[in-house]
Structure 1
Amino acid sequence: MAGEFSRRTFVKAAGVAGLAGLSGDVLAQQQRLTWFAGGTGGTYFPLSNQFKQVVEENTNFTLQVQSTGASVENVGGLAQGQADFALIQNDVAFFAYNGTGIEEFQGNAVKSLRGVATLYPETIHIVTLQGSNIETLQDLEGATINTGDLGSGTQVNALQILEAVGIQQNDFTEQNTGFSQAADQLRNGDIDAAFVVGGWPVGAIEELATTNDIAFVEITDETRQNLKSQARWFADDTIPPNTYSGQSEPVQTVAVQAMIATTEDAEADTVQAVTEAIFSNLDQISLKQQFIGRDSALDGMSIPLHPGAREVFGPATTSPANETENNETAGGTTTPG
């Protein structure tokens, strides 16, 4: 099953299949498409189901939305032909396409990966409970921390952020589950803090805030600048006051970008139809509607754009993905802006 796809499975599959020339084109010819989302406690899963409704009402395709461990697992699903579309983080997309940044992708670049559209900022939430004595990132040293599903984009971001303040993996006790389980762990006192990456408000945190007094650890000033200098896909972000129960002050943090991805094997007509259906019916989308639009659909695009998406949005003239393609042609490398 898709939800059981593991880091080890990804590496094994990558070695066997070479992560190229997979069966996405066969899947794309069918009326039924598979869409990998994320955990049910985050934003990917409910948003994907809203996309499902719009696509099925406006095209001849049906979408099978699957709950997964999110970004890294979803890249594996695309690479193996298990998924036709998936939601992933733009930083994970960059790592996968360039074969860098994450252990699973080292030497296993997913050159078949293609971008469809970027959607909305995925805010880094570092949540704890009031009275935990965790007020700064440095206070997380020695703590028990849920860094997200093993191999997920959330875990990648969490480890990057902790390392930016000098906290290595052997400096804390790491737990790995989805957002809903992390909220339960906080509620039960099994962990001290959790990293949750998603567009606010995240359902699992909303629910936790109704039963417990929550608090957030901010990412500010020098730490934020240090992060952005190391990884340009991070952007400044703020969780507005009263986003969650009991949260009366804004929370400074950073964000990555959520995006829709597919592979080069997907038929252009299929990608165009699905993309056009979504972006022509945004009034039917309630989640993150204020961020999703044609004008911003190429912002932060960190991998080459699929030709079917290019038919919807036009040439990605300002996309870092174009810089990537141009530099590859010239024999160089780049990083996303």
Structure 2
Amino acid sequence: MRSGAPRSGCATSPHPPGSPKVEPERLFTAVLFCLLDGLTRPPHPANFPAGLGSTEIMKRTIFGVAAALALAASAPCAHAQSFINVLTGGTSGVYYPLGVAIGKIYGDKILNVKTQVQATKASVENLILLQQGRGELAFTLGDSLKAAWDGDEEAGFKTKLDKLRTIGAIYPNYIQIVATTESGIKTLADLKAKSLSVGAPKSGTELNSRAILSAAGMSYKDLGKVEYLPFAESVDLMKNRQLGATLQSAGLGVASLKDLSTSSPITVVSVPKETVDKIGPPFIAATIPANTYTGQDKDVPTAAVVNYLVTSSAVSDDLAYQMTKLVYESLPELQNAHAAGKEIKLETAAAGSPVPLHPGAIRYYKEKGLIK
């Protein structure tokens, strides 16, 4: 949580709907001025209520001042807010629409929480921002999460990111290598001497690209041209015949590839199981079902890697508990936000992360009987 988070011991009652917000410091000053003014210039005795002398009036006035001071002093706590910044990915990917849905769920259902959804370069940047205290929830690929926890410099992590804590596993990312039919690219071997967009620099997708090519016996040096571009920009180049293929690590039905398949004939390139096995965990063999994209009339073998929602140790146990609970108890909303939401399951949420679960998440999973 940020500097706007409630201080320890503060109540967090919501601000009354429709009422104007008054800065606590100004309220305090105004009340104090008026009441002290009343003490220095007490009302004329002729205006005293019947039966009350000046001494009794003075006592009541002093009591009123004390009560007002206590009320004003508590005002900052009454209006304090938690802040949740949701770190996603590019706006044409899957992280972003799911992040928008989660941000809305949190904003609607957690008292005194203000949410923001931030588009980023995805996994690697998200994890670095979490470590720096610039986010409260992030989407990430499992292999990027492991690299961050290990402090893998080649993956873009200069030091071990030890503040990371897992909320839970969500859906798998599918390695989707799509080429224009015109490029003649039909297999991984056909990528040699051709142009390929491998994702934004040091993104989770780019790390996946390196892994896939390496398992296929290739490197970037074997390609004709390497473009380090987000999903939408890659598709724009392909539409303009300036790029042969793109590798996109995302949920099935990613918007960028749907857009491409409806405007240009495409080939979805397979990643054979033997290639996936060479990489090993956290990669698994998977299938892109027929008709996921226009013109794709057959199932296509590929690789997949699990995505995770991650927070940091700076987030309180109570807030992390609510964040976890609301994700896995709001699955219909996530499914409406993107088809990948259909693959998010509570049953697998607590398993497999290379980073420890947040204590708040552990509390929720214990309640659901997923861990002891």
Question: For residue 161 of structure 1, what is the aligned residue in structure 2?
Answer: 212
Superposed displacement of residue 184, structure 1? 0.7
1:164–1:182 distance in 2 versus 1, CA, 3 Å: same
Task: State the alpha-carbon separation in 2 of the partners of residues 45 and 250 from structure 1.
Answer: 27
Q: 2:329 aligns with which of 275, 280, 284?
A: 280
Q: Secondary structure at the match of 1:309?
A: helix
Partner in structure 1 of residue 312 of structure 2: 263
Alignment of structure 1 residues 30-45 onto 2, 5 Å:
30-45=81-96
2:294 paired with 1:242: no
Residues 109, 153 of structure 1: alpha-carbon distance in 2 compared, 3 angstrom cutoff: same
Instruction: Give the C-alpha shift of residue 26 in structure 1.
Output: 4.5
CA contact (8 A) 2:215 2:276 kept: no
Matches within 5 A, 1:109-258: 109-172=160-223, 173-228=225-280, 232-258=281-307
Partner residue in 1 for 2:37: none
Letter aligned with residue 190 of structure 1: Q
Indicate the larger mover: 76-85 or 37-46.
76-85
Q: State the AA in 1 paired with 2:188.
A: L
Once residues 119 and 31 of structure 1 are traced to their aligned partners in structure 2, the CA distance between those partners, rounded to angstroms, is 24
The answer (yes or no) to whether the contact 2:175–2:247 under 8 Å persists in 1 is yes
Residue aligned with 1:34, SS: strand
Q: Does residue 1:56 correspond to 2:103, yes or no? A: no
- Summarize the Cα distance change of 1:27–1:311 in structure 2 as closer, same or farther, 3 Å threshold: farther
**SS of the residue 1:299 aligns to:** coil
Deviation at 1:266, TM superposition (A): 1.0
Q: 1:315 to 1:53 in 2, by over 3 A?
A: closer
Structure 1: gaps of 5 or more residues: 1-23, 320-337
**Structure 2 length as normaliser, TM-score?**
0.75
Q: Distance in 1 between matches of 2:344 and 2:4?
A: 27
Structure 1 Cα separation of the partners of residues 305 and 362 of structure 2: 22
Aligned partners of 1:204, 1:180: CA distance in 2, in Å? 5
Code of the residue aligned with 1:55 in structure 2: it is Y
Whole-angstrom distance in 2 between the partners of 1:76 and 1:317 = 32
> Higher Cα Rg: structure 1 or 2?
2
**Identity rate of aligned residues, in percent?**
30
Q: Could you list the runs of 5+ residues in structure 2 that have no partner in the other structure?
A: 7-80
Residues 67/25 of structure 1: CA separation in 2 closer, same or farther (3 Å cut): closer
Stretches of 4+ aligned residues off by more than 6 angstroms:
315-319
Distance between the aligned counterparts of 1:222 and 1:285, measured in 2? 33
Structure-2 change in CA distance of 1:78 and 1:247 (3 Å):
same
The alpha carbon displacement at 1:285 in A equals: 2.0
Pair 98,194 (structure 1): closer, same or farther in 2 beyond 3 Å: same
Q: Over residues 114-168 of structure 1, what are the superposed CA-to-partner deviations in whole Å (9 max), with x where a residue is unaligned? A: 1101100100000101132211111111111100011100000001111112212
Verify: 1:81 aligned to 2:133, yes or no.
yes
What is the distance in 1 between the residues matched to 2:99 and 2:325? Answer: 15
Letter in structure 2 aligned against 1:219: V
CA separation in 2, counterparts of 1:111 and 1:130? 45
**RCO higher in 1 or 2 (8 Å CA, sep ≥ 6)?**
1
Q: 1:208 to 1:87 in 2, by over 3 A?
A: same
Contact 2:284 2:304 (8 Å CA) reproduced: yes
Please say if residues 28 and 270 of structure 1, whose CA atoms lie closer than 8 Å, have aligned partners that are also in contact. Answer: no
Aligned to 2:362: 310
Say if 1:37 and 1:235 are closer, same or farther in 2 by CA, change over 3 A. same
Tell whether the 8 Å contact from 1:305 to 1:316 is kept in structure 2 after alignment: no
1:24-83 Cα deviation digits (max 9, x unpaired): 564654422111110011100001111112222211223200100000010111011111
Q: SS at 2:156's partner residue?
A: helix
Aligned 8 A contact 2:273 2:301 in 1 = no
Q: Say if 1:315 and 1:304 are closer, same or farther in 2 by CA, change over 3 A.
A: farther
Q: Deviations over 1:277-297 (max 9, x none)?
A: 222222222223322122111
Please tell me whether the aligned partners of residues 198 and 209 of structure 2 are also in contact (alpha carbons under 8 angstroms). Answer: yes
